[in-house]
Amino acid sequence: MSLFRRKKKKELPLFSERRRKKKRRREVGVGESKKRNPEAETSLFHSRIIICTGISLLMIAVLFCNLYYLQVISYESYQTRSNENRLKVVPVVPSRGIIYDRNHVVLADNRPVYHLVLYPNKEINTRDSITQLSKLLRLDLSEKEINNLVFQASTRKRFSGIEISDLLTEEQIAAFSVHSYRFPNVQVVASLKRFYPFADIVTHAIGYVSRINQADVDRLTAEGKIDNYEGSLEIGKLGVEKFYEDELHGKTGSREVEVNSHGQVIRTLNYNAPDPGNDITVSIDIRLQYYIQELLGSTRGAVVAIEPSTGEILAMYSNPSYDPNLFVRGIRSAEYQRLLNNPGHPLINRVTQGGYAPASTVKPLLCIMGLNEKLVTPLGSYFGKPSFRLPNSSHEFRDWRPWGHGWLDLYRAIEISADTYFYDLAFRAGIGTIHDYLDRFGFGKRTGIDIKEESLGINPSRDWKRARFNQPWHLGDTVPIGIGQGYWTTTLLQLIKAHMTLANYGEKRTPHLMRNIVDPSKPAEELDYVSEEQPPVFEVNDPNYWDVCRAGMYLVVNGPEGTGRRAFFGAKYKAAGKSGTAQVVSVKQGEKYNAAKLKVEHRDNALFVAYAPFVHPRILVGVILENAGGGSAKAAPVARAIIDKYLLELYPGGYMGESTPHMMKFGIGGTVMVQ
Amino acid sequence: MTEMSKESLSSLHNVNTRQPHGNFFTRHHVDLPLMLFFCITLCLSMFVLYSASGQQSDMLVRQLLRTLAAFALMIVVAQIPPKVYFKLSIYLYLLGIVLLVLVELFGDISKGAQRWLNLGLIRIQPSEIFKVVMPLTIAAFLSRDNLPPRPLNTIIAFALVGAPTALILMEPDLGTAGLVGFSGFIAIFIAGLSWWWIILGAAAAGAALPVMWNFVLHDYQKQRIFTLLDPTTDPLGAGYHIIQSKIAIGSGGVFGKGWLQGSQSQLDFLPEPHTDFIFAVLSEETGLIGFLILITVYCFIIGRCIYISFRAHGNFERILSASFTFTFMFYIFVNIGMVSGILPVVGVPLPLISYGGTAMITLTISFGMIMSIYTHKKVMFFKS
């Protein structure tokens, strides 16, 4: 204030002076005037300079205080933030375990692929970059795809890139390299991608991996595994790839890196190697699998070949199939629509998901029930009429042979697949008993196969019908169950599992694909498959019952009237089997089945189950051919071909039957030498 | 000055101790201490610039050549006696105004503002001219009359300041307009602006602020002010620069991370690390010590200039040298203040350190004039 007053005082005389010297002219020197007060001016000037110097010092003090606050008081907080800026822990994705077939042929491999990744940067227009890259590399991105990428770029968290292309060709990489200076925030990133060299041959068994979606993220989060998937792009979606996901995936490593503001990695500070996933050997023989694909051609159907003594699945094929590599790449909507709309429904695994009427193939299994429940005896005779009628009913349950079979014992009933014998058996057993035995054979529940795509089929019961249709169970519902029709549906694998129990004399085995799991760093330690079948044995009153039913199946293939005898004529081994012809639609009373008159999808399904060699079978084959016709005519030759291929061509010199023939007696005086 | 005339032959020499024929440098109108401080600053600049530019030596060479050219220009400017500038000032001012109007009409647009004028051969930024011309004009105008200036002269002086400032503001270039306006104002202040004017002006500015806010400021300028008040509201947008710059400075600590070791600077987290934000690089790598060294060098330069202003004779010379001096200080304050987050981000480089030719030339011309004021002595015969 004192300064202020001083100025004011000074001004007054100058103001008064002004009037007198109105016309002042500059005469000497620069800025000099005729009449002035140099001393007053100098002191004014000096005081102003001092004020300004004071203000300058104040400014410096302000700057210093601010810097002191930043660099001394808040030092630690800023240091932390600086480190957060520059240090980044990058997940290192482990390489996925390889899947081999039983002969160490690679079924699922990892191949390097090159991605084009853009790290969004404020300085660079993302849309322009993408558009230019699309043009340069001929990516043919649509406007919608570009919009989507730009949206991703704006929503992605800092430092993470967006993938413009996930499969660059070598030409594209070369083209990009030449022009890379124009795209400083775009990088080519190499990664391993799953590749299935056999394409559609083993799709349903091995499955595939595909991009992790939100549902996977939710599931992994719930299971507490999400941290291990940091950086992973793919996850098993089907088959073995899905079931053994935890084994195959491995443990994600990490890399502490220094990044710049664009997210580009400058250098690595710390490296934690990932644990690669474990390799899996599956029991499938790709040669047999391929052979089956060739055999089926365009016929819709499914085939399982299994080793009954272990439950190892040798082949598992569902026709038609599809190329899993499409899903790895990221299937396009049009391709997916084509798969969905394909009348053959390739996406369904017919082996484990197809619900079929098992038809006559289950007759030997029902015989076990009959024998164990003392409803039939091996030699007890029954007269096979053209049809079966329930008491006090006019409805005719027809036999497949319009004129009937005449006198039957159990062996002949299986051999010739006499329907009336089993109508009678089912009628006398009742649905409760049947349901119970079918349950023990594994129908209507999971087989335990190590893939997740499995439907349960229907093991009908009174409760089931009440729950499903809200109707009581009728006696007439029980009768067709005897020949594997009616409400009963099963998957091929359930049927095979039940027959495997029979072929093993009651020893139950879980059908499975995995043979062993090997940690690549410790190849000596193999983790073999452990069956968890409960109970492990199918208990019957007399173990001889198994022999009786197996003998019936032996006759199907080798007997004089056996339904499969033509297909297995001249086989170099002794096989056993059972045919089945499943009606898809019911034939009205008094009408005859005529394939030619029916629509293709309403024709009969052909089934055949066979195993060989007879005493200690090495292979058990189940074949189902949709709408192909009779089981013995259509499916049996396929089963024969597969067994021939396996026993004679792929693994020759193995056990082919007993060295010393032994006599088997059948029913009404029949004897056969079994080798 | 130690080498001042030891052999004072006459009383004339006693009056004017800094006689023009003292030593080699003063004879050639070069002020040795200032030159020395400039060289120290230049060395400092080279070190920081090398780090800030990502260790590009070609950038360094370019800046070095530019600086040497600017120093040469400074020496040339120093050869011309102040009275020539006095006479030229009004023409320079008018030329500047014309160029500004041309910019308004035909200027090139870059980063949303019209600042450059393409003259075919060269592109110039007329607003930069006023950083020199503005104090020059005001000093020339006010020193024609007695000091302190009469109200009419004060009004005219403010009008002289206001016209180019408004034109620059229209480009829009808030930073340069502020600097130009400030340099004009400081000249008027040093000439002896009445404190009443200052109080009235402050009151008027306070009243005009809401009007400015609503009608004059562009959205991006408002955004900058918002961002300054709370950078965290927009950490990846406008506030990003300030936050990253503060992180760089704060993480430097007292001793810094070491030359070329600043992660914020070396890993591109800083915006424009070699121009406007070069102080953040310096602070991160050399810490508070670096700031103290820098400010000490600056203080020497400013101190020397204040000394020259004190010793200057004639109102024109005094006003000119003092306003250049304090404008220089103001540049420093604005740049460091903006980089350390207490002032809004306006495009003001750190004088003598930042990369760039225009600002360097503007500065060297002003310092050339200060040297000219110091070395072209006017003998005052009437003093004994």
User: Of these residues, A360, A417, A461, A579, which one is catalytic?
Assistant: A360
Q: Cβ(B77)–Cβ(B34) under 8 Å? A: no
- Of B47, B339, B228, the C-alpha closest to A67 is B339
Contact A44 B148 (CB under 8 A): yes
CB contact under 8 A, B288 and A8: no
B196, B251, B315 member nearest A82 (Cβ): B251
What distance in Å separates the CA atoms of residue A65 and residue A74, rounded to the nearest whole number? 12
The contacts of residue A158 (CB under 8 Å, 6+ apart) are A263, B236
- Strand, helix or coil for residue A488: coil
Burial class of residue A282 in the structure, from the number of CB atoms within 10 Å of its CB (0-12 exposed, 13-18 middle, 19+ buried): buried
| Closest Cβ–Cβ partner in B83, B191, B254 for A71 | B254
Amino acid symbol at A518: V
Which pLDDT score is estimated for B22?
Answer: 63
Strand ranges across the sheet with A265-272: A87-92, A253-259, A265-272
pLDDT of residue B113: 59
Would you call B314 and A259 a contact, using CB atoms and an 8 Å cutoff?
no
pLDDT value at position B174?
A: 77
* Residues in chain B within 8 Å Cβ distance of A122: 236, 240
Residue A48 to residue B82, Cβ atoms within 8 A: no
Per residue in A92-130, is it b (16+ CB within 10 Å) or e — as a string?
ebbbbbbbbbbeeebbbebeebbbbbbbbbeebebeebb
Identity at B147, one-letter amino acid code: L
Q: Distance between CA atoms of A52 and B329, rounded to whole angstroms?
A: 10
Q: pLDDT of A142-182, one tens digit each?
A: 888 888 888 877 776 555 678 888 778 888 888 888 888 88
| Alpha-carbon separation of residue B358 from B94, B348, B354 (angstroms) | 20, 12, 11
Please tell me the distance from the alpha carbon of residue A128 to that of residue A556, in angstroms, as a whole number. 73
The residues near A274 (Cβ < 8 Å, ≥ 6 apart) are: A92, A93, A94, A95, A250, A251, A252, A253
Contact (CB<8Å) B150/A45: no
Q: Does B273 touch chain A (CB under 8 A)?
A: no
Where is pLDDT greater, at A254 or A18? A254
CA distances from A523 to A109, A283, B249 (A): 18, 18, 54
Task: Specify the range with the lowest mean pLDDT, choosing from A49-58, A291-300, B113-122.
Answer: B113-122
Q: Which of residues 50-89 of B touch A (CB under 8 A)?
A: 82-83, 86
Helices B219-229 and B239-252 pack at an angle, to 10 degrees, of 40
Nearest CA in chain A to B269: A261
Q: Do the chains contact at A48 and B309, CB–CB below 8 Å?
A: no
Q: Cα B119 to the chain's mean position, in Å? A: 25
All residues of chain A having their beta carbon less than 8 Å from the beta carbon of residue B311 are none
How far apart (Å, rounded) are the C-alpha atoms in residues A657 and B4?
Answer: 125
- B351 interaction partners in chain A (CB closer than 8 Å): none
Residue A208: is its pLDDT beyond 90? yes
Average pLDDT per 10 consecutive residues for chain B, totaling 384 residues: 43 46 75 91 92 85 91 92 90 91 77 64 77 92 84 90 88 82 91 87 85 75 70 64 88 90 82 86 93 95 93 88 93 92 84 87 92 76 46
Instruction: Tell me which residue of A576, A566, A92, A623 sits closest to A316, measured CA to CA.
Output: A623
Q: What is the pLDDT of residues A317-326, one digit of tens each?
A: 998 999 999 9
Partner-chain contact A266 B267, CB within 8 Å:
yes
Which strand (E) or helix (H) includes residue A622?
strand A619-625
Concatenating the DSSP letter of every residue in A222-267 gives HHT-GGGGTT--EEE-SHHHHHTHHHHH-B-EEEEEEE-TT--EEE
C-alpha count within 13 angstroms, C-beta hemisphere, residue B152: 5
A221-225, A261-265, A363-367, B154-158 — which is least confidently predicted? A261-265
pLDDT of residue A191: 81
DSSP secondary structure string for all residues of B284-301: HHHHHHHHHHHHHHHHHH
Chain centre distance of CA B88: 21
CA gap B289, B252 in Å, rounded = 10
Q: Are A532 and A311 in contact (CB under 8 A)?
A: no
DSSP assignments along A339-380, one per residue: HHH-TT-TTS-TTTT--B--GGGGHHHHHHHHHHTTS--TT-
The pLDDT value recorded for residue B8 is: 40
Per the model's pLDDT, the better-predicted residue between A660 and A67 turns out to be: A67
Q: What is the mean pLDDT of chain A?
A: 85
B146, B267, B291 member nearest A67 (Cβ): B291
DSSP single-letter state for residue B262: -
Cβ–Cβ below 8 Å for A72 and B254: yes
Pick among B80, B154, B188, B267 to test the A interface (most A CBs inside 10 A): B267
Q: How far is CA A611 from CA A319, A364, A500, A626, B236, in A?
A: 22, 13, 9, 21, 70
User: Contacts of residue A70 in chain B, CB cutoff 8 Å?
Assistant: 246, 249-250, 340-341
Q: Do A86 and B249 touch (CB under 8 A)?
A: no
What is residue A549's three-state secondary structure?
Answer: helix
pLDDT at B9: 43
B86 CB neighbours in chain A (<8 A) are 30-31
Cα B29 to chain centroid distance, Å, stands at 22
**Residue B37 to residue B43: CA distance in whole angstroms:** 10
For chain B, the first-to-last Cα distance in angstroms comes to 22
Asked if residue A194 has pLDDT above 70, the reply is yes
A110: Cβ–Cβ under 8 A, 6 or more apart, which residues? A95, A96, A98, A192, A193, A194, A195
What is residue B174's DSSP assignment? H
Residue-level pLDDT at A4: 40
* A586-614 b/e (C-beta count within 10 Å ≥ 16 → b): eeeeeeeeeeeeeeeeebbbbbbbbbbbb
Q: Give the pLDDT of residue B341.
A: 87
Closest residue of B to A266, CA-based? B267
Measured between CA atoms, the residue of chain B closest to residue A4 is: B195
Q: Closest to B309 (Cβ–Cβ): which among A49, A59, A266?
A: A49
B167 — contact with chain A (CB < 8 Å)? no
Q: Does the pLDDT at position A13 exceed 90? A: no
What does the block give as tokens for A52?
A: 């300004």
The answer, yes or no, to whether the previous bond of A112 is cis (omega within 30 of 0) is no
Closest-CA distance of chain B to residue A44, Å: 7
Comparing alpha-carbon positions, the chain A residue that sits nearest to B341 is A66
Query: Which DSSP symbol is given to A600?
Result: G
H runs (alpha helix) in A21-118: 38-68, 75-86
Cβ pair A611, A314 in contact under 8 A: no
Closest CA to A628 of A298, A272, A322: A298
Give the model's pLDDT for residue B23.
74
pLDDT at B120: 62
Asked whether B294 and B40 are in contact (CB, 8 A), the reply is no
pLDDT score recorded for residue A510: 92
Whether the pLDDT of residue A24 is over 70: the answer is: no
Q: Which residue from A minimizes the CA distance to B336?
A: A63
Token pair for residue A29? 């020197």
Task: Please tell me which of A148-162, A327-341, A415-429 the model is most confident about, judged by mean pLDDT.
Answer: A415-429
Which helix (H) or strand (E) segment holds residue B190: the answer is helix B174-190
* Closest Cβ opposite residue A78 in set B147, B192, B251: B251
3-state helix, strand, coil in chain B (%, to 5): 70, 5, 30
Instruction: Decide if A488 contacts A477 (C-beta within 8 A).
Output: no
A160 catalytic, yes or no?
A: no
Report yes or no: A446 and A440 within 8 Å, Cβ to Cβ: no
**DSSP element (H, E) containing A432:** helix A419-441
Q: Which domains does chain A have, with CATH numbers?
A: 88-281 (3.90.1310.10), 287-319+352-674 (3.40.710.10)
**Which of B316, B322, B336 is nearest residue A31 as measured by Cβ atoms?**
B316
Task: Test B244 with A37 for CB contact under 8 angstroms.
Answer: no
